[in-house]
Amino acid sequence: MVPTGPYGSWPSPIDAALAASHDGRPEYLGAVGDELWWTAPRPTEGGRRALVRRRPDGAEEQILPAPWNVRSRVHEYGGQPWAGQARETGGPLIVFSHFPDQRLYAYEPDGAGDAAVPRPLTPLSATGGGLRWADPVVHPDRAEVWCVLEEFTGPAPTDVRRVVAAVPLDGSAAEDRAAVRELSDGRHRFVTGPRLSPDGRQAAWIAWDHPRMPWDGTEAMLADVTADGVFADPRRVAGGPAESVPQVGWTPDGQLLYLSDRSGWWNLYRAGADGEPVALCPRAEEFGGPLWKIGLGWFHPLANGLVAVIHGKGATALGILDPESGELVDAAGPWTEWAPTLAAHGSRVAGVAASPRSAYEIVELDTCTGRARVVGSAHDDPVDPAYYPEPQIRTFAGPDNREIHAHVYPPHSPDRIAPGDELPPYVVWAHGGPTAHAPLVLDLEIAYFTSRGIGVAEVNYGGSTGYGREYRERLREQWGVVDVEDCAAVAEALASEGTADPARLAIRGGSAGGWTTAASLVGNDVYACGTIIYPILDLLGWATDETHDFESRYLESLIGPLAEVPARYKERSPLGHVDRISAPFLLLQGLDDVICPPAQSERFLAAMAGRGIPHAYLAFEGEGHGFRRAETVVRALEAELSLYAQTFGIERPDVPRLELRG
């Protein structure tokens, strides 16, 4: 007989330390000869990113021990931080960005003596945030690395310029900024790294300008490359103010491919000889996504003329596309989400994939046999999978009968069942972005709650990606309205259908999800409490000088131009309406966050002082936007659970009691 216990009180082997140790995922996959390389999270090592190498025999090893941290700060969110080149002798040459100083380094992992020690290729800078580099490509025949240079010109976060640049491999620029060649003309505020055509005569990249975000409109640029490596006659070949191009690339025979949402969906196109785009597989589904980080990739041309693609609606799959016939065949397997990173070596394609029963792992597809298998960072169940939740893919009706997509994770444990007359508490999770989405994958932080008897509903509210441009643009000038309404509609639907206890509903989210959480606590009385994580709370501050350059004009599409609708900025900001908050809340903040700075949280708390609403504030030194250290994740999860336990009347003596003050 399985014992009975109230929802939320169940014991679980998935503790906060276990969830924290599995936080993060492999990123930035690449092929170096016959080897696969990627970056991997190290939560227990200060949250650094390690560089991992898989040799042809399957042996997996970490390259560069602590404190080396392979991570770029371009746009603050980062981007592709490394590149590698196989060599006939001496082993591979690796170039990478080191997070603490943001310099590019060259490294020969198989070298001896001084060659086995990373050597700097770029200088330090005392101005602003310094010199930063991302999306590198090694060109040994030119003795250069081509990449994006982000250069601060003053103390403000918007005192910045970005260009396509060439860094010499001989180290001559390590102390001399003038030795870095600028390849683009600086006409655009934002650029991605250039992709050189197979014959070396042309280079393609992506560019855009304020106030557009890359999912609003970008331009695919093409330039001729002269014999001395200069870009000549740069021109736009695709994209525009209302057309998003998130990736460009070349086929082995020199055809330019790119993704575009000109049809309302990110689909794959070939640049025609007459300049007109040729759709290779037109479908009402996404073959691309939002370019939050420079160097993301959803397609990869193969040597045999086929193209590996990541595609889908909501969930994603890895497919092999014949660009001539349009035939698309998907890899078989349990994976429901493929991260935007692909690598190819020979007839094999590798990606990073996860499922509701497995975390992100390196999966390799043999395009000759059709067999897909895990080859790196393999998922290993740290507990009995019987404790994992079973997600439900749901579509709810929102205001005006609009569709709202969500993943519902009911409470589940093999050790306990709840009394028959009790309904479970539920927490609505609002994802960040907001131009992003909640993937259908195993997340031990979700399992941390569901295995204790607290349900979770992840809402892909209007504005989320994965469902086409029309769904994405529901949030245009409606941030703080549509996202709040959609989350509330899901919560209320779960309550009305008898799935959730209407008196024990909570909401939580980080970054833009933190905004939605705070705006929800201000805007309605659906929730009994909320967890607000590194949030945006003051639109006026964020629209002026309180965030980084990349998102400094984001609110013009999410809220409206400040000069035209200034009252809307004040009316929508949770900071201006703390008097409407009646539910307890937990506020979590990284003190090094330059995207959603602690100053906003501190003003919010000052405005709440003396109002008698129970709340707690936990600030973490050394953490930026997104918690990376295991000890931070542990403290945050346990505090969140304590908030729910106290609010919902649940006994949880196994976690430290969070002190709530009025």
Residue 350 has pLDDT above 80, yes or no: yes
User: Which pLDDT score is estimated for 218?
Assistant: 98
Q: How high is the mean pLDDT of the chain?
A: 96
Helix axis angle for 512-523 and 482-496, nearest 10°, is 70
- pLDDT bin (cut points 50, 70, 90) of residue 14 is very high
Of 127 and 550, which is predicted with more confidence? 550
Q: How confident is the model at residue 59 (pLDDT cuts 50, 70, 90)?
A: very high
In CATH, the number for domain 34-298 is 2.130.10.120
- State the Cα–Cα distance between residues 50 and 28, nearest whole angstrom: 11
The number of angstroms, rounded, from the C-alpha of 466 to the middle of its chain's C-alpha atoms is: 14
* Contact of 606 with 598, CB cutoff 8 Å: no
Vertex 319: Cα angle to 316 and 323 (nearest 5): 130
- The domain ranges of the chain are 34-298, 299-380, 385-648
Confidence at 495, pLDDT banded by 50, 70, 90: very high
What is d(CA 326, CA 321) in angstroms, rounded to the nearest whole number?
7
The stretch 79-102 carries a mean pLDDT of 95
Q: Which residues contact 401 (CB under 8 A, 6 or more apart)?
A: none
Cβ atoms 221, 238 nearer than 8 A: no
Interval 405-434 mean pLDDT: 97
What mean pLDDT do residues 287-308 have?
97
Per-residue pLDDT tens over the stretch 524-572 = 999 999 999 999 999 999 999 899 999 999 999 999 999 999 999 999 9
Residue 57 CB contacts under 8 Å (≥ 6 apart), including other chains = none
Both tokens of residue 285? 């589904």
Strands (E), 60-186: 60-63, 82-85, 93-97, 104-107, 119-120, 131-139, 144-152, 160-168, 181-182
Task: Output the pLDDT for position 113.
Answer: 77
Q: How confident is the model at residue 111, as a pLDDT?
A: 86
| Peptide bond before residue 653 is cis, with ω within 30 degrees of 0 | no
**% of the chain exceeding 70 in pLDDT:** 100
Confidence grade of residue 481 (pLDDT, cut at 50, 70, 90): very high
Residue appearing with tokens 């907001």: 434
DSSP class of 243: B
Using alpha carbons, select from 441, 449, 479 the residue that is nearest to residue 461.
479
| Paired sense of beta strands 82-85 and 60-63, if any | unpaired
Looking at residue 1, its pLDDT comes to 86
Q: Confidence band (pLDDT; 50, 70, 90) for 332? A: very high
pLDDT the model gives residue 508: 98
Contact present, 457 and 408 (Cβ < 8 Å): yes
If pLDDT is split at 50, 70 and 90, which confidence band does 90 have? confident
Residue 140 carries which DSSP code? T
pLDDT at 462 over 90: yes
* CATH code of domain 385-648: 3.40.50.1820
Predicted local confidence at residue 116, as pLDDT: 80
pLDDT tens by residue, 592-642: 999 999 999 999 999 999 999 999 999 999 999 999 999 999 999 999 999
| Residue 215 to residue 288: CA distance in whole angstroms | 10
Q: pLDDT value at position 129?
A: 73
Query: What's the rounded mean pLDDT across residues 300-311?
Result: 96
Q: How confident is the model at residue 126 (pLDDT cuts 50, 70, 90)?
A: confident
State yes or no: pLDDT of 160 exceeds 90. Answer: yes
Tokens at 45, concatenated: 């090592």
pLDDT band of residue 112 (cuts 50, 70, 90) is confident
Distance of CA 470 to the CA centre of its chain: 21
Given this model, what pLDDT does residue 321 score? 98
Give this prediction's pTM.
0.96
**For tokens 């519902």, what's the residue?**
408
- CA atoms of 195 and 256, how far apart (whole Å): 10
Q: How far apart are the C-alpha atoms of 73 and 150, rounded to whole Å? A: 9
Residue 365 and residue 347: Cα distance in Å, rounded?
8
